[in-house]
Amino acid sequence: MQTLDLEKVLLEYQTELNGDTKVDELTIKEKIMIMPTLKHKWVARLMTYKVTKQKLVLAKKKAIRELVSSSPIPLTKTSLDQAVGKNDTIGQINDLMDSVDIIIEYLEKAEKLTNSMTWDCKNLIDIQKLETT
């Protein structure tokens, strides 16, 4: 099972998002021009992690089915819950799912931020117009 360095991924995304969302009077036209590309980049990352989450859910279901089928006796709900709790593979999947959930939450907020940048740029242009008149 693969691992995910959550802190490293979040720091990398924070640094990148900081650069993507930095706007000033000199770069506003450039940011407006690349806004659709920026939005696409962050939405694509979000969807990639949502697909990863779905794959992990399916892997967890498969591991539980294998656990049930490998048992020589039928498992009750309680004994199944205990067996799932002790299973290393399912534990790793759960840990990875928790990390992916945090990244998904961050990327959802990043998507909202990039969507609101359109209004921020418009407001900055309006301020520039007021200052020049």
Contact between residue 46 and residue 111 where contact means Cβ atoms under 8 Å apart: yes
Cα(56)–Cα(6) distance, integer angstroms: 16
pLDDT for 10-62, tens place per residue? 999 999 999 988 888 788 788 888 888 999 999 999 999 999 999 999 999 99
Using alpha carbons, select from 49, 7, 41 the residue that is nearest to residue 117.
41
pTM of the complete model: 0.82
pLDDT for 22-31, tens place per residue? 888 788 788 8
pLDDT for 60-112, tens place per residue? 999 998 988 888 888 788 888 888 889 999 999 999 999 999 999 999 999 99
Cα(124)–Cα(131) distance, integer angstroms: 11
Contact between residue 4 and residue 104 where contact means Cβ atoms under 8 Å apart: no
